[in-house]
């Protein structure tokens, strides 16, 4: 089973490095570890995250694809579906598809990355980890967008 998982990871990583989703760069964090990926994601245009470059860490468990990966934003982000807690929980994403109960082994990492970009375009306040940000998104969208733009400028712009 480990051999099949390694083969799957190698295949998916190859696909993502040669033909990644738009606005996404995928590479290994460490050449000796297929289970740790560094992802750089452009903020989608037309969103408060536009112009930002967001670093994510994607960790594939040893029993992948039977268990879901963990996705963590390493760049601070003002978003209802991304934790702003103190480490080790800071940057953790709330994604329904990555819960053990909802994960399907047939799900490819490209679909996970595309869904993350979708959430940057359309946050899901009903599945939030940051309740105050979700409330603001629903009740004062202009205020939410201003704060998200400010955080994007502060934390996700001006990088190489």
Task: List active site positions.
Answer: 94
Longest dimension (CA), the chain: 50
CA distances from 140 to 17, 137, 144, 150 (A): 39, 6, 6, 16
Distance CA 148, CA 106 (A): 33
Distance CA 155, CA 126 (A): 26
């Amino acid at each position: 089973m480990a051999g099949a998982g390694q083969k799957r990871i190698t295949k998916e990583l190859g696909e993502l490095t040669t033909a990644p989703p738009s606005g996404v760069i995928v590479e290994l964090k460490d050449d000796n570890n297929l289970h740790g990926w560094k992802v750089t994601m452009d903020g989608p245009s037309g969103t408060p995250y536009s112009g930002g470059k967001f670093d994510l860490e994607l960790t594939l468990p040893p029993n992948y694809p039977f268990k879901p990966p963990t996705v963590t934003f390493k760049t601070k982000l003002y978003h209802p579906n991304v934790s702003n807690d103190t480490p080790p929980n800071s940057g953790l994403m709330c994604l329904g598809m990555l819960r053990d109960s909802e994960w399907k082994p047939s799900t490819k990492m490209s679909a996970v990355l595309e869904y993350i970009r979708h959430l940057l375009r359309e946050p899901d306040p009903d599945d939030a980890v940051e309740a105050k940000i979700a409330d603001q998104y629903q009740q004062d969208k202009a205020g939410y967008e201003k704060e998200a733009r400010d955080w994007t400028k502060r934390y996700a712009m001006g990088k190489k």
